[in-house]
Amino acid sequence: MSAFGDLAKRLRLERGWTLERTAKAIGSHKGYVSGFENDKVNPPSAKIIKKLAKALNTDPIVLLRFSAAEKVPIEVRKEFLDFAMALSSNEERALFLSKYFGIPAPEKKETTA
């Protein structure tokens, strides 16, 4: 399953929505929703993703970034991951990835000396 499809399905199920209800909310068919949830078709267009985000009460930027990442060739995604993993610290890596995916960075843990 794709990261976009997995996220879309998880959000739909968290709301207790069926494929049919989700499809109606975005002006499509349940087969199409099932298709992108299960990586049988490409992620939807930005217009549909924005409708999906509104229907599922989530930030469209996160869904758009996940869908865009999947359209990038695998070689580029591997280079991106290599770059992120080469960052000097877990904190720096977490900040970079949180910015890329549009999610809050993890809280810094206080250390006592």
pLDDT of residue 62: 85
Where the chain has pLDDT below 50, the residues are none
Q: Are residues 94 and 79 in the same domain?
A: yes
**Taking the alpha carbons of 30, 32, 37, 39 in that order, is the dihedral positive or negative?**
positive
Q: Note down the domain range covering 56.
A: 3-71
How many domains are contained in the chain? Answer: 2
CA–CA dist 49, 38 (Å, integer):
16
pLDDT of residue 113: 52
pLDDT of residue 48: 96
pLDDT of residue 73: 79
The answer to the question of residue 113 being in a domain is no
The answer to the question of residue 44 being in a domain is yes
pLDDT of residue 12: 95
pLDDT of residue 90: 75
pLDDT of residue 36: 94
In contact, 38 and 5? CB cutoff 8 Å = yes
In contact, 13 and 7? CB cutoff 8 Å = no
In contact, 83 and 53? CB cutoff 8 Å = no
SS3 at position 112: coil
Q: Are residues 32 and 63 in the same domain?
A: yes
Q: Are residues 44 and 94 in the same domain?
A: no
pLDDT of residue 91: 75
* Contacts (Cβ under 8 Å, ≥6 apart) of 98: 104, 105, 106
Q: Are residues 92 and 64 in the same domain?
A: no
